[in-house]
Chains A and B, each alone.
With several copies, the nearest count.
Chain A
Amino acid sequence: MKYVDEFRAGDLAHGLAAAIAREADPAHTYNVMEFCGGHTHAIFRYGVQDLMPANLRFVHGPGCPVCVLPIGRVDNALELACDPRVTLCTYGDMMRVPATGRRSLLKAKAEGADVRMIYSTQDALRIAVENPDREVVLFAIGFETTTPPTAVVLKQAAAAGLKNFSVFCNHVLTPAAITHILESPEVREIGTVAIDGFLGPSHVSSVIGSQPYEFFAQEYQRPVVIAGFEPLDVMQATLMIIRQLNGGRHEVENQYARVVTREGNRKAQALVAEVFELRSSFEWRGLGLVPYSALRIRPQFAAFDAELRFGVETKPARDAKSCECPSILRGAKKPTDCKLFGTVCTPESPIGSCMVSSEGACAAYWTYGRFRQQTRPAARSTEAAA
């Protein structure tokens, strides 16, 4: 596959690994947070960590759109799904996300709720057109990548005058969350979090561009390198962060220049601005309330807003007490530090947000990376060393 396979080539990996090993200062520890689950996934699936020196540690951030949705909103989606009039459409990833009482959309479906897995927002629209007697609700989630497709379908529904289609909007914004990680009061409670640099979102940035990170890099004096999701992208961007840190710089750099520009996709941005407006605050699972970090449907499209149509009220709902996700998402703890990891909390039956999607830190750790320390006593990886 062109523009895919080239960026997974093992031979180039060895060159990059050698460069990183050479350039990483043995006197320092490099804590690099990959914000995106896409990076987390690549690191574990391809074994990138094995190619890193012991003093380079990846901190797995909150960047999985499924994991960050707070329990209260998943509860809302469940309520909608259990309304006998409603056909709830959502992406496959959302099906297993645990809500209050370990319920999930998959379980609701098993109990008879009409929940449909869609591949694209267009599928939801088609289902609404084909089932005029059903209230079709798109349970819309995700970052800046999935938001424009939701905007498109909302405009199409409005143009067609569809009466039985609405959107339960849960789109969130990544720059606000990245900022929040270094700024929130919770960080102080958890303890000192040493994050030296950030791998910036790749596909999100294809829409919003690299510009939105510039304020952050300056304000918090941390390098941000927009990085592709292929393993060589991650390695090259890591090298770029090391070089910035070694050189005392804190800039926004763009490793993923083949897709990301400074300004992003203007047409998509305009569509989003037309249909959505900022929420003053929104809860992120594991992070708590984050100001100006989410979108809601504008009044012009109120007829298609499921929150209004069905009087959705989000009640506060707590995550499991022993779940260490908040600390893990900020880099203060590792998945194996959690008492529930692998016993009560597994991908088949997740407790916390980090175990939900294959991009969550706990899930990736479980699926691809656990127990290197036991099967490979030679401590090359930071997990083994920790």
Chain B
Amino acid sequence: MTAHDARFVGGAIPLSGSVDMMHGSGGRATAELVQALFVRHFDNPMLRAGNDQAAFQPPAGRLVISTDGHVVSPIFFPGGDIGSLAVHGTINDVAMAGARPLYLSAAFILEQGFPLADLERIVVSMAAASRLAGVPIVTGDTKVVERGKGDGVFITTTGVGVVPEGVDVSGDKARPGDVILLNGSIGDHGIAILSKRENLAFETEIVSDSAALHGLVADMVAAVPGIRVLRDPTRGGLASTLNEVAQQSRVGLRLDEAAIPMKADVRAACELLGLDPLYIANEGKLIAICAPADADRLLAVMRAHPLGQEAAKIGEAVADDLAFVQMRTAFGGERIVDWLAGEQLPRIC
């Protein structure tokens, strides 16, 4: 096309200012936004094809699919942002089947008035996280809602992955005697988020642990293909995740409080706000449950990986019809570790 033609085809709609209803109308503004932000930064052939879906030849093996909506506030936080989180969160849920994540989709729900510069920053961050993880974002969607009907940006990512031959991980496979392993300190993500909330603001050097765990998982299933349970203790924290597993497997789980890695900042912030770190969200942590005979090998493999250097055995499964999670406190007593009840609110008493 000549320069003259280009002028008639339509100049670029300026990508300054903020998200407008027209960006979600399905018209030229939507198409331009998709090209200028998503296709440009996520850049891969499937996305460039410009269809409403991505097509691929799957490798041999069972496939897994997982989805998560991301609604974090604040959108930018120490150690990440909603974009990197949306990539890591879904990669991790796929990886928790012992699977190798292959592709991601991303659906954005944008609030009218959200700064386009912030959106671009998020997209750049997603692109970087996806590239680093080697899991491309191959299809997506963009909707815009009126101001006051959203919260800046929500991102729902969905991932597909393939499970290596011989691996069969599921939350219902824990057996009495099995060992519970954790790859590092708990509560980092939740405390990093809380530290930036208006009213609660406190100073800490804690950053979110948000990270893609599929590399660690690949090492783990390679070393111990018979690994029974993998799960990432995200919202609801370690406590809620373990209660889920206990109920799925109909076993009791017993933790040793002293063995659970925790940073001093997390402990202090929890004391300050009256929160229990067992219920604080993580975004780069996993628990693994394996047969006792496999535990040492698995722990060694975890510790050899950058995301598992502080890995620890934190407890074991026991026979218990009621499927309680209990904990020997560092103090020497015992307590139940219940599901998170309601939501954790900072408290004065």
Which residue numbers of A lie inside 8 Å of B, CB to CB? 1, 4, 8-10, 13-14, 37-38, 44-51, 64-66, 91-93, 95-96, 106-107, 109-112, 117-119, 123, 142, 146, 231, 341-349, 357-359, 363, 366-372, 374-376
Contacts and interface: CB of A to CB of B under 8 A. Distances in A.
Contacts of B53: none
Contacts of A4: 271
A334 B246 CA distance: 28
A59 B216 CA distance: 49
B338 A368 contact: yes
A47 B334 contact: yes
Nearest to A64: B349
A375 B251 CA distance: 12
Contacts of B329: 10, 45-47
Contacts of B345: 92-93, 95-96, 117
Output the residue of B9, B22, B336 with the most chain A CB within 10 A: B336
Contact of A13 (B252, B331, B338, B349): B331
Given A1-B267, A1-B268, A109-B147, A375 B320 contact: yes
A107 B8 contact: no
Contact of B347 (A93, A107, A231): A93
Which A-B residue pairs are the 8 nearest by beta carbons?
A47-B333, A92-B345, A347-B341, A110-B113, A343-B11, A46-B331, A10-B332, A110-B112
B336 to A, nearest CB: 5
A50 B333 CA distance: 6
Interface size class of B (residues with CB under 8 A): 35 or more
Interface of B is mostly: loop
Contacts of A47: 329, 331-335
Contacts of A48: 331, 333
Contacts of A9: 331
Contacts of A347: 341-342
A91 B347 contact: yes
B14 to A, nearest CB: 6
A113 B176 CA distance: 49
Given A1-B268, A348-B22, A37 B331 contact: no
Given A8-B330, A45-B335, A375-B322, 9 more contacts: A1-B267, A10-B329, A91-B347, A142-B348, A231-B333, A342-B11, A343-B7, A345-B11, A375-B320
Given A109-B147, A371-B322, A371-B336, A231 B21 contact: no
B324 interface: yes
